[in-house]
Structure 1
Amino acid sequence: MTRPRLVVNAAWPDVTGAEIALARDAGADGVGLPDSPRLFPDPLLATERLLVDTDVALAGPCVLGTGLRHPATVGVALRTLADRHGGRVFAVLARGESAVRNEGLAPPRLAAHLAALAAVAERTAELPITLLGAASGPRTIAGTARGARGVLLDVGADPEVVAAAAATARTATPAVPCWLFLRAAVTADAPVAAAPLLGSCAHRLAAAPDWYRVPDPLRDDVAALAAAHDYATHGRGDATPAEGPAAGFVRDRFFALGPAEDVAARVRELCRAGGVDGIVLAGATGGLRGRLADTVAAVRAGTTGVTAGSR
C-alpha cells in the first residue's frame, strides 16, 4: 500500500533546517517553496540549496507563477535540478495571482496559463520529477488534467467539492494524479488560524458560488468578504480575524482546523472522497509554524490506512 505523499509548503522566508527536520520526523515527505518576489527568496535557487543541504525526499517551488515566468525558463530550471537531484524534485505551477497582482500585473488568461503548463510538461516529460498544475475551478481543473502531469486541487476542505474536483480531473484524464492543497492547523482558535487566507478563499467562493455550493442567503456576504481582501497582505500573520456567518462558512469549506483528532478525521474523509495521491499543506495558515509537528502528525494520521489514488 502506498500512502499519499505529504509536502509542507513553507510559506515563510526564513525556513530553517530544524523546521524541515521537525516536519520530516512528524511524517512529511518534503517541502514546497513559494514564488512571490516581494516576500520570499527565489524558490528555484532555494530548492537547489535545500536539496544539497538536507536529506528531504521532495523539495521544490510551490507554486511557480506562469504570470511571472516563461515556460522555457521554468523547463530548463527543472531539467537542471533533475539532472542534479533526480526524483527528489517537486514543482507546482499556477497562475500565481497574488504574486502577479503585487507586481502590478494582471494574472494570465486561462488559455495562456494552460498553454504554459503544457509547454513545461512537454519540456520535462522524461524527467523523474513530480510536476503538478494547481487548479480550483472546473474548467481549470479539466484543462490542467489534460495538459499537465498531475493536478493540485485547490478547492478547499469540503468532501463533496473535493470529490467533484477529482472526478472532473479524472474525466478529462483518467489516470491523472490528484493532489490536494490543504489549509489545516492543530489549533484552539480557528478564526485566528484562518485569518491570513480567509479573504483569498472567499474570492474562490464568490467567483464560483454554484461550484462551491454557497447557499443563496450567504452569497452577498461572501462576496463582500472577498471584496475586502487586500492581496498585498495575502498570507500575512497579522491579518485581522473575521467574524460572522460568511466567515464561518468560508472557514468550514476551506480549512481543517481544531484538535488533532478532528484534523485527522477531516483529512481521512477528504483523501477517500477524492482518491488523493498527495497533500500539500498550506504553510500560510495561521499558527501552523508554531504547531508544525503537531499539524503534520495529525495530517499524516489522517492518511493512515489510505492508499494513494484510491476511493
Structure 2
Amino acid sequence: MTAANDPLVLLNAARPWGEAGPVEVARVASKAGLDGVGLADSPLLFADPLMSTDRVLAETDLSVAGPCVLSLGLREPRSVAGALRTLADRHAGRVVCFVGRGESSVRNAGLPVPSLRDHLASVQRLVELTTDVAVPVVGAASGPRTIARTSEALPAVMLDVGVDPRTVAHAAAIARQARPDVDIWLFVRAAITGDDAQAAAAAAPVLGSCAARLAAAPEFYGLSEEQHALAVRVAAAHDYRRHGTREASSVELSSAEEAEVRSRFLASGTANEVAAAFAALAPVGVAGVVLAGAVSGVMDGLPDLAGAVRAGLTAANRDRLASPVSDGVAPNSGGVV
C-alpha cells in the first residue's frame, strides 16, 4: 500500500461479462499491493460500477474504489449523486468517483457522444448536488480544451494523454493554468513485456481508442500530416462494441505503424524500463495513477507491474518533494486548442 505523500495506484477493472468479476479483480489488485480499483462503466460490457463499488468495498480490504470512468453521457446527475451519497454512508473515506463524457460507453450503447458544453453542464450539476457528499470527484480528460474546462469545474483531473513525458507535462500545465491547485491523476496503459511482439499484443485491445485521442488533437500531440492520417485510420477501425478485446480493431497495420501509435500510449518493457517510464511522468506532481485494466495480460503480470509502477513513482515523487520542479508548459508545446 501507499506510504504518506506517495501517489495512490489503482487498477481499472475493465473485464467484460463472462470474465473475472469486480470482486475477483479487486482481490488480485489487493494481493498485488495496489491501493484500489476503478470500475468501468459500459452497461453492455461490464457489471454496474456503482453496485460493484459497494461489493468491492464490503468484500475486500482495498483502501479505495469507485466508478472509473462513470459516463455522464449515460447517467443523470441526480441519480449519480444519490448513489454516491449512499456509498459514502456505507464506506466512509473509501469511495472515489471518476467522471467523464464516456465516449466508448455511449458509442457502445449506440448513443451520440455529448458535446463538451453538455458534458460540463452535467459536471456542474453533479458538483452542486454533491457539495455535502464526502466523495472525491475526479474529471477524466484527454484533449486540451477538455482538460482546461474540466480543471476549472473540479478540484481533480485525470489526464488520459499517453506516456510521453513532454505531453503529460504540457497537459498538467494546461490543467494548472485553469486551476493552480488542481490534483493531477494519470490514466496509464502499461505492461511488463519481453519483446516488441508482446508489447504489440498487450496494446491490441486499446490501440483504436488511443488512436482516437491522437486523431482528435493532432496539434496537441505534435503529429505530422502522415501521423494524423494513420491515427484517423486506426481510430475509424475500432469497434466499440468489442472495446477492450483483441477483436475491437479490424485495421491491418505494419509493425512500424502499430508501434507509432503504441509507443505514445503504452509503457512497456522490463520492470526496470516500466519503472523508468513512470519516474519520467511523476515530476509533474501526481496524486494518483489508474492502470488500464483492458491492456492484454495485465492481470497475469499485475504483481510485477504494480511493483515497477510503485518503484518509479515513489523514487521520483520523493525527489520532487525534496526539489520541486516547474510545472510550466513544455518548450515546444502549443497552447490550448
Give the TM-score of the pair, scaled to structure 1: 0.94
2:206 to 184, 197, 202: 197
Q: CA RMSD in A?
A: 1.8
Q: Deviation at 1:154?
A: 0.6
Is it true that 1:291 corresponds to 2:301 in the alignment? yes
**Corresponding residue for 2:135?**
129
Supply the AA of the counterpart residue of 1:28.
L
1:103 to 109, 124, 129: 109
Q: Where does 1:67-216 land on structure 2 (aligned, <5 Å)?
A: 67-188=73-194, 189-216=198-225
Does the aligned pair in 2 maintain the 1:86–1:127 contact within 8 Å?
no
Secondary structure of the corresponding residue to residue 26 of structure 2? helix
Change (3 A) 1:16 1:76: closer
Secondary structure of the corresponding residue to residue 170 of structure 2? helix
Change (3 A) 1:15 1:258: farther
How big is each residue's C-alpha offset from its partner over 1:266-303, in whole Å with a ceiling of 9 and x where there is no partner? 0110111x321110000001110111111111111111
Is it true that 1:258 corresponds to 2:243 in the alignment? no
Question: Quick one: distance in 1 between partners of 2:234 and 2:256?
Answer: 11
Is it true that 1:5 corresponds to 2:8 in the alignment? yes
Which residues of structure 1 form unaligned runs of 5+?
none
Question: Quick one: distance in 2 between partners of 1:300 and 1:88?
Answer: 20
Q: Where does 1:246-285 land on structure 2 (aligned, <5 Å)?
A: 246-272=257-283, 274-285=284-295
Q: Deviation at 1:132?
A: 0.4
Range with greater deviation from structure 2 (192-201 or 231-240)? 231-240
Does the aligned pair in 2 maintain the 1:222–1:246 contact within 8 Å?
no
Which residues of structure 2 form unaligned runs of 5+?
326-337
Secondary structure of the corresponding residue to residue 86 of structure 1? coil
Is it true that 1:225 corresponds to 2:234 in the alignment? yes
Secondary structure of the corresponding residue to residue 158 of structure 2? strand
Change (3 A) 1:193 1:168: same
Question: Quick one: distance in 2 between partners of 1:16 and 1:41?
Answer: 8
**Corresponding residue for 1:234?**
243
